[in-house]
Amino acid sequence: MWIRALCLALLGLATPTTAQVQIGGDCAINIANIGENATVNVERGTCGDSFRISYVWLDAQSLNLVRTGLSTQNLTSVVGSKPKILRAGVHDQMMALLELGTDMLPIPQSEEDETAFLNVSTPLGPDDFESDFIDRRALGVPFPMWAGNRQILWPDAKAYSEFFLNGVWPSNYAYCYANTQLDPFLIDDIELFVEDGDVDQLMQSIAFALTPVRFIDEAEFQNYFRGLRDMVEAFDAVDTAKAPLKTAEQLEFAMPRVTARDWRNATPKSYTLLRQITREGFPADFLLKIGEYTRNSTCGEDGNSLGFKALPREMEVMVAVIEPISPSIRITEIGLLADRDTGLRADFDLQRERSQKANLPALVEGDSYLLPLRIEFRYQDRSKNPPWSWNLPLRSQSEGFYEALDAARTALPELSRPAPDTLAGAGATLAGLTPPVDITPTPTYYFGDVLGLESLTTFNPLTNRTTRHQVRETPRFAALTQAGFETGSCPFLAFETASGTTLEHGQVLVGAHAPELAKADTVAIPAGTTVLHLSEREPEISYISEITLTHESGETRTLARDVRLNPQETISIDVPDGWDGAATVTIAGHYTLLN
């Protein structure tokens, strides 16, 4: 019996019940029911058009691997060794979103490159995952990296003003607090600081243990760029470092040409993707924003600062994996059920019948067709409790911390008075902090067409027979395969080729978040590059002290000095003829977050 053990292993659920159903002659179909999950498997029979169907969710990076012919052993076990994505179902919508949210990476030069190794995780059970890796250095080709889920550093001038100027925690947020069930000693620390009257340590401990949180509404989302401009103006008003810096618009170099322009990739890919998928509506709980008080910075976080970031949902696509069992079958028509709605919505109702002519080449053993059926944007991660994609504790887990905080306010009334100069904001008054909340967004939203596979019509050239097969109802849930890199913010370097293709190197000046931490990064220029792009895509200002090209012959050319890049600005530099593939670019400087 051809029960597909993989699906059961991936789901990690109880042994399924089975039912035998006869479809045409002696073709026996085995249907395995696993809650709302289903996999349809056809036993070998004497009819000549046996196939099997399973359902799986693929995240956007896994889809990027499949569509470019790359894979790992784990991914192959899910979609087959020679998968082909059908130009049917929600294919066109899926591909448009993938193109919008994907960066092309050049070949990494060393294993120190943070994107040199791609991790592919396949679930083995509810709390168990198996990881596999791709070494991109061995591929020898540019690589598609999904950037549509990258967190967006988010400006909030009102919150910053309240926190740093007025000495109060932002009033337009709810709050989550530390999980004292995991770390009960946090309460002991607070009680000890109160007993000792150590206000500085107490305020700092509380600052690190709380998280401002709320959803971004449509108006705030649309005003993102205005918020960036407001933050730049506020920063300039208090900035005392008046170094003679040029803005991108003030650059004047004759050879090679250096220009400033509104380059398309200066906007975060995740923001561009969000703008596309919310054109027909912006649900109130679609996009979450959280704040964090930080010290001991890394890239994207500045010391003694309050930063905010939007958390985009993960894009995942449910596909039907169709695999042949008989030697040769050809799918001629696909029967589908469709939802009438197409905007972002939390549920769907499959009623409309739809058919798509296929007339596909014959499948042979080892081949598989992937039929995209629905696109989802999720905060849900069933491997976690609670099942969300961040580590915010439940209200019940942090009530103990809040009770200790409340007791501290009673014992030390000065904690409820503004103290804007204490610990660069960590001493903000505790008067306005509210009890912990549960953050419970809608787990998943469906985008565009939502389809269910109803039937497949096959043609068997050996018997000259056409057969329409009814298919088990498409499940709402399936196994999930994920792939990805760790990424952050900082200035971004990209290379443009003569054909117009853009290769993303990614971050430069990582960790250089203050003048005293300024550094220089050297990157090889890929062959075929005609233009370098250095862009600032986050709420931060980059100060570039120098950009220099070095040819392998030893010749150097300084292209720019003392440049300031505001958010959403890019400088573009022509690469001299003959220097592509034979030179490096060195970028020196630092950046400052608009916190």
Question: Mean of the pLDDT values across residues 224-231?
Answer: 84
| Tokens, residue 247 | 């803005």
What does the DSSP assignment read for 36-49?
A: TEEEEEEPP-SSS-
**pLDDT > 60? residue 14:** no
Q: How far apart are CA 357 and CA 333, in angstroms?
A: 4
Higher pLDDT: 5 or 82? It is 82
Model confidence over 455-487: pLDDT tens digits?
A: 888 877 777 778 887 776 666 655 544 444 334
In the prediction, which pLDDT does 518 show?
A: 87
Within 322-424, where are the H helices? Answer: 395-411
Tokens, residue 76:
């192959």
Cis-peptide into 256, omega within 30 deg: yes
Q: What is the pLDDT of residue 115?
A: 61
User: Greater confidence, 262 or 290?
Assistant: 290
At residue 387, the pLDDT reads: 47
Q: What is the mean pLDDT of residues 540-544?
A: 84
Highest average pLDDT, of 264-268, 418-422, 464-468, 580-584, comes from 580-584
Q: For 20-52, how does the pLDDT look when each residue is reduced to its tens digit (9 = 90+)?
A: 222 333 443 333 333 333 333 333 333 445 677
Choice among 142-146, 314-318, 334-338, 386-390 with the minimum mean pLDDT: 386-390
User: Which phi-psi region, left, alpha or beta, contains residue 140 (left: φ > 0; alpha: ψ -120 to 50)?
Assistant: left
Task: Give 54-80 pLDDT, tens digit per residue.
Answer: 888 888 988 988 888 877 777 777 787
Look at residue 505 in the predicted model and tell me its pLDDT: 75
Does the pLDDT of residue 244 top 50, yes or no? Answer: no
Q: What was the pLDDT predicted at 9?
A: 27
At 152-174, the pLDDT tens digits run: 888 888 888 788 777 888 888 99
Q: Are 349 and 340 in contact (CB under 8 A)?
A: yes
Given this model, what pLDDT does residue 119 score? Answer: 64
Instruction: Tell me the per-residue pLDDT of 102-131, one tens digit each, with 9 for 90 and over.
Output: 888 776 666 666 666 666 655 544 444 566
- Render pLDDT for 350-368 as a digit per residue (tens, 0 to 9): 888 887 777 677 777 678 8
Domain range summary for the chain, segments of one domain joined by +? 1-47, 51-149+315-379+444-485, 152-312+393-432, 491-593
Pairing of strands 367-378, 82-85: parallel
Q: What local confidence, expressed as pLDDT, does residue 300 receive?
A: 42
For the segment(s) 491-593, the CATH number from 3.30.1490, 1.20.272, 2.60.120, 2.20.25 is 2.60.120
Task: Indicate whether 437 pLDDT > 80.
Answer: yes
With a CB cutoff of 8 Å and minimum separation 6, the contacts of 145 are: 61, 64, 102, 103, 104, 105, 115, 485, 504
Q: For position 546, what pLDDT does the model report? A: 87
Dist CA 582 CA 558 (whole Å): 16
Quote the pLDDT of residue 30: 38
Type of residue found at 536: E
Q: Average pLDDT of the chain?
A: 74
Q: What's the rounded Cα separation, in Å, for the pair 254 and 573?
A: 11
| Count of H-run helices and E-run strands, the chain | 11, 31
pLDDT at residue number 213? 93
Report the phi/psi class of residue 464: left, alpha or beta, with left for phi > 0 and alpha for psi in -120 to 50. left
Phi, psi of 290 (to 5 degrees): -130, 155
Contact 479, 11 (CB under 8 A): yes
Report the C-alpha gap between 523 and 584 in whole angstroms.
Answer: 5
Average pLDDT over residues 79-93: 88
| Cα(459)–Cα(468) distance, integer angstroms | 9
Residue 187 has pLDDT above 80, yes or no: yes
- The residue that leads in pLDDT, 241 or 538, is 538
276's CB contacts (< 8 A; 6+ apart) are 97, 100
Q: How confident is the model at residue 216 (pLDDT cuts 50, 70, 90)?
A: very high
Give yes or no for residue 526 having a pLDDT over 80.
yes
In angstroms, the CA 70 to CA 27 distance is: 35
The two three-digit tokens of residue 63, written as one number: 């889809």
Q: What is the pLDDT of residue 16?
A: 26
The per-residue pLDDT for 295 is: 59
Higher pLDDT, 267 or 386: 267
Residues of the chain above pLDDT 70, percent: 70
- Residue 3's pLDDT band (cuts 50, 70, 90): very low
Q: Can you give the pLDDT at residue 132?
A: 63
Query: Is the pLDDT confidence value at 299 over 80?
Result: no
H or E element that contains 68: none
Residues above pLDDT 90, as percent of the chain: 14
pLDDT score of 136: 65
